[in-house]
Amino acid sequence: MTTNSHTQWQYLEQRSSSWRKQLYLKGKKLTAFTVWSDMLVNEMTPEEVAESKELPLAAVMEAIEYCQTHQELLRKEAEAERRY
């Protein structure tokens, strides 16, 4: 699995102010997981998500790729959030 420090993401960034280790979309209060999960839950295409969230399609595609390659981290953070 690729770590955040070894991957250069164009649209994603880590937030030092957050307890989460997952990445956020630059300039937005959205995690990559939020974009991905909204797409899956609402059965939307990447194009529809990009339009609904006012994001470049490339940013949505990057969020999808990130989530697909970091599922263990996302699972652990979801479990931690449920505990609080």
Q: Whole-prediction pTM value? A: 0.84
| pLDDT tens track for 16-72 | 887 889 999 999 999 999 999 999 999 999 999 999 999 999 999 999 999 999 999
Concatenating the DSSP letter of every residue in 6-74 gives G---SSEE--TTSS--S-EETTSS-BHHHHHHHHHHTT--HHHHHHHTT--HHHHHHHHHHHHH-HHHH
Residue 4 clears pLDDT 60, i.e. is over it: no
Residue 7 clears pLDDT 80, i.e. is over it: no
Residue 3 clears pLDDT 70, i.e. is over it: no
- Phi, psi (5° rounding) for residue 20? -75, 145
What's the pLDDT score for residue 36? 96
